[in-house]
Structure 1
Amino acid sequence: MKTHFKTIIISDVHLGTKGSKAKEVARFLKQYSCENLILNGDIIDGWQLKKSGSWKRKHTRFFNRILKMIERDQTNVTYLRGNHDDFLDQILPIQIGNLSIQNDMIYESNGKKFFITHGDIFDSVTTNLRWIAYLGDVGYTFLLWLNRLVNYHRRKRGLPYYSLSQYVKGKVKTAVSYIDQYEEELAKMAKAKGCDGIICGHIHKAENRMIDGILYLNSGDWVETMSALAEDHDGNWQLIYYNEINFRKSYRSEDDKAVAIERPRELKTVAFESVSKGLKIPNFFF
């Protein structure tokens, strides 16, 4: 049987870009069933599609997986607008059966309220200084290109996946300061709205911690971290990392294709939080 959750939240899939892990996120969703699936922004990367991005068959398969969850499991799917899929402004809010598209939402579960937003509205750079945001997007795209090169050589040496951009974020003091301020401001917003927690994405940094009495949850991304948030029926939240799932082909689905299910195991930290074994970082990243 599939593992069943009350709610699963994913964000920052960035479909249409080379860095998007569309196959992995579709495979991830194939392992679980849930009552509610929340797509918390930047699922489609409209910015890159306008420039050099391209739409692949694997990107379409991701949405096919979503449709199957709606049809077979009666999953309620909510798509929240992010900054990279701001083209949704032309149609939201909209409700079509079990699918709704909107800006943000209040989620109530087990007597607690959570404000769910992609998070870019609290980022003065992407909100007010769009040209700087695009410049940052170019730099991040370059890091992802370099990251693919680095991990190609790491795989050949039998080394685990390494996130170069997360390493840079952790080393550059301004980036660390920005992330801390971002998380604190979101916690303040949740408190102002009378909520017990805040759930977001945007900064590609998965997190589950308390900030001044507010539960701060960030679902991470599906470009590097490959993580999601999941809530059980008792209201407990956990981060699930794709790289920590033990995939084993133990049964066959109705379409006679092999399906892997997750075996319970202790979730570990993602690879980029470990020491950068076998990798030398050029000085210009510091």
Structure 2
Amino acid sequence: MPRVRTVFLSDIHLGTRACQADRLLDFLREHPADNLFLLGDIVDFWAMKRSIHWSRAQNTVVQKLLRRARHGERIMFIPGNHDEALRNYCGTSFGDIRVEREWVHEMADGKRFLLVHGDEYDQVTRHHRWVAVLGDVSYNLLVRINIWLSWMRRQLGVSGYWSLAGYAKRKIKTALQFIFDFEESVMHDARARGLDGVICGHIHWAAIRDMNGLTYVNCGDWVDSCTGIVEHLDGRLELVNWTASAASLEYNDSDEAEAPIGDGKALAGEM
């Protein structure tokens, strides 16, 4: 496959039923890279406190990441609020995957971007955790309903992908205002640091756009939108939407020879 310089992913939410690990594996197979940045909420410890769903495909995601790191790809993990316990290990490495609180990445064209998860710019998550947990459960419900809606659409022969959670975000004014406030806050910090932009996750709202001369980039998620960001060899950034690609993974990868991580049952999580 054509190699890209860097892949940016966030909000995979391993350990939940909503995690679309099959599609993520297809995406990773199609995008070999020199660098891979995991920008938080990779493992959903919040949801796993309620119950755990760890599928074979999710197991393979972990094994594939470890294998890519072992074979020389630089992989860095920047924890988010759902896997914040791993922030205690910033500056260390697990299986050649380095953990950092944040990072400044220099693109091939010389532009410098702040890499963060983004929850540190979310006033609700920082100061009203119970509201964040309530929002997590509500979003979780929408995603689970969306799984059934998607199945019904396929049975009826309706093509394309439609997101109930995304529709709700577009229609609910307070949700949109939260997103805009978040974006302004994270970009203000980038400008203060003299950087060219930010690449983050957290709000499950994929985007690449100019904001007053700086570039705002959000990776989206792998529970609803199935999106990632790639940096091409010339430094150009591209938003890749993988929802149009049907998951086609066959479990005959050599990664399967490695020891399993675990198994379990039920539930999901978000933001």
Distance 1:247 1:161 in 2: 13
SS of aligned partner of 1:49:
helix
**Is it true that 1:85 corresponds to 2:83 in the alignment?**
yes
Aligned to 1:47: 46
Where does residue 195 of structure 2 map in the other structure?
195
Distance 2:6 2:231 in 1: 5
Cα deviations by residue, 1:48-87 (Å, 9 ceiling, x for unpaired)? 1111233222221101111221233x10000011000011
* Distance in 1 separating the partners of 2:179 and 2:253: 44
Query: Which structure 2 residues correspond to residues 42-121 of structure 1 after superposition, within 5 A?
Result: 42-72=41-71, 74-96=72-94, 98-109=96-107, 110-121=109-120
Is the CA contact (8 Å cut-off) linking 1:75 and 1:98 kept in structure 2?
no
Deviation at 1:207, TM superposition (A): 0.1
Structure 2: 5+ residue runs without aligned partners? Answer: 255-271
CA contact (8 A) 2:226 2:243 kept: yes
Task: Measure, in 1, the Cα distance between the counterparts of 2:53 and 2:5.
Answer: 34
Q: CA deviation at 1:245?
A: 4.9
Distance 1:218 1:35, change over 3 A: same
Greater RCO, 1 or 2 (C-alpha within 8 Å, sep 6+): 2
Cα pair distance change 1:156/1:178, threshold 3 Å? same
Aligned-pair Cα RMSD in Å: 2.0
Provide the C-alpha distance between the structure 2 equivalents of 1:152 and 1:162, rounded to a whole number of angstroms.
11
Please state which structure has a larger fraction of its residues in strand.
1
Tell me the residue number matched to 1:10: 9
Determine the structure 2 residue equivalent to 1:241: 241
Larger Rg: 1
Counterparts in 2 of 1:172-187, with a 5 A limit?
A: 172-187=172-187
| Stretches (4+) displaced over 6 A | 246-249
Whole-angstrom CA distance in 1 between matches of 2:130 and 2:101: 22
Distance in 1 of aligned mates of 2:147 and 2:37: 28
**Deviating more after overlay: 52-61 vs 230-239:** 52-61
Shift of 1:30: 1.1
TM-score, structure 2 as length reference:
0.87
Q: Contact conserved, 1:155 with 1:161, CA < 8 A, in 2?
A: no
Identity over aligned pairs, percent: 35
Aligned AA (1:45): D
Q: Which residue of structure 1 aligns with residue 209 of structure 2?
A: 209
Q: How does 1:94-173 map to 2 (within 5 A)?
A: 94-96=92-94, 98-109=96-107, 110-159=109-158, 160-173=160-173
User: Given the superposition, is the C-alpha separation of residues 50 and 97 from structure 1 closer, same or farther in structure 2, using an over 3 Å criterion?
Assistant: closer
CA contact (8 A) 1:24 1:242 kept: yes
SS of 2:58's partner is helix
By how many angstroms is 1:146 displaced?
1.3
Cα deviations across residues 217-252 of structure 1 (Å, max 9, x unaligned)? 011100011010000111100011113459999xxx
Aligned length in residues: 251
| 1:66 match: secondary structure | helix
- 1:6-48 deviation per Cα after TM superposition (whole angstroms, max 9, x unaligned): 1000110000111000111112101121110000100000001
Contact 1:120 1:127 in 2 (8 A): yes
Distance 1:246 1:18, change over 3 A: closer
User: What is the TM-score with the length of structure 1 in the denominator?
Assistant: 0.83
Is residue 169–residue 175 contact of structure 2 (8 Å, CA) maintained in 1?
yes
Task: Give, in whole Å, the separation in 2 of the partners of 1:3 and 1:241.
Answer: 17
Q: 1:246 to 1:4 in 2, by over 3 A?
A: farther
Q: Is the 8 A contact 2:23 2:247 kept in 1?
A: no
Q: Quick one: distance in 1 between partners of 2:93 and 2:51? A: 31
| Cα distance in 2, alignment partners of residues 247 and 21 from structure 1 | 9
In structure 2, give the amino acid aligned to 1:90: N
